[in-house]
Amino acid sequence: MSDPMRIRAQVQGSGAVVRVLMSHEMETGLRKDAAGATVPAWHITEVVAALNGKTVMTAQWGTAIAKNPFTQFTVKGAKSGDKISISWTDSRGDKRTDEVVVA
């Protein structure tokens, strides 16, 4: 299974800034390995961010998102102690969800 995401959510002004670092190869399907065989595409396709269980943002990603994807966004009205959870689904159907408490 995949490694955990690193998520940081900090109150800033009236909301919380969420920074997410995911651990994923994000293969484009264009790269060739040492033997010259194409490495099949394998990348995160969908991301869902939720505040206290309610979806606040979703994303669809292609192969051009960098390896070990980073993303940052701001959740309005999130307070210290609220829970932010991030889930992703990749092109192989793997999923992962991690949760963090807003600091």
Q: What angle do CA 23, 27, 29 make, to 5 degrees?
A: 165
Judged by beta carbon, residue 72 or residue 80, the one nearer another protein is 72
Shortest Å distance, C-beta 80 to another protein: 17
- Strand order of the sheet with strand 95-101? 44-51, 83-90, 95-101
Q: Phi and psi for 18 in degrees, rounded to 5? A: -110, 125
Confirm or reject binding of residue 75 to another protein (CB under 8 A): yes
Site for another protein, residues 7 to 46, rule: CB under 8 A: 15, 26, 28, 30-32, 45-46
Question: Nearer Cβ to another protein, position 7 or 75?
Answer: 75
